Amino acid sequence: MSNALWSDFSERVSVVDELRVAVTVRDAQADAASLGRLAERNVAAMASITALEERRPELEEDSPVMQELARLDAKLNALVELVGRSLQPTGSLPPRRQVRFNALGVVVPVDVLPAGRELCVRLHPDVCPSLVLELPAVLERSFEDGHAFLAFCPLGEAHADALERLVFRTHRRKIAETRQSLT
């Protein structure tokens, strides 16, 4: 158990929400190639989530035509990803659970944890539940309140950056929604 990792997790921006989440045991002997494919799928899923959630592109390009083309391209990529995933058989979605997550890990109720230390966290975003983020994790710590902290295993810099951006955008959106509901 790493107190430094828990401390780093606690100090970072986190998303607290009720999400569809499942935790399964993962193969601790997964090779680098399969972890690389998993990272690529996750980065593509996070790009699709971004495209579906964003209302306008975040480009520095001045041309409105180029901005519109970039927005359409992002949405088309998201559509292709969705169609590809929908062709794969999917089971029923996991139930919603209160979670807290950021780029370092996730806090989940202990009753969703299977036996084992090497785990895979599957988060289904509300914008498109068929897009699942599969995040390899290790059980770091259990708490007396019935929750556990799972630290995400590193899957590369691009994956970490995409996850960090997803957390930041989701957190920012939740704050905006809260402020809007108060006015």
Taking the C-alpha atoms of residue 45 and residue 51, their distance in angstroms, rounded to an integer, is: 10
Residues sharing a CB contact under 8 Å with residue 38, sequence separation 6 or more, in sequence order: 134, 136, 155
pTM tops 0.85, yes or no: no
Taking the C-alpha atoms of residue 11 and residue 7, their distance in angstroms, rounded to an integer, is: 6
What is the identity of the amino acid at 151? A
Domains of the chain: 3-182 (2.40.10.430)
Low-confidence ranges of the chain (pLDDT < 50): 1, 57-59, 89
pLDDT in tens, 133-172: 999 999 999 999 999 999 999 888 999 999 999 899 888 8
- Burial, 87: exposed, middle or buried (Cβ in 10 Å; 0-12, 13-18, 19+)? exposed
Taking the C-alpha atoms of residue 81 and residue 47, their distance in angstroms, rounded to an integer, is: 10
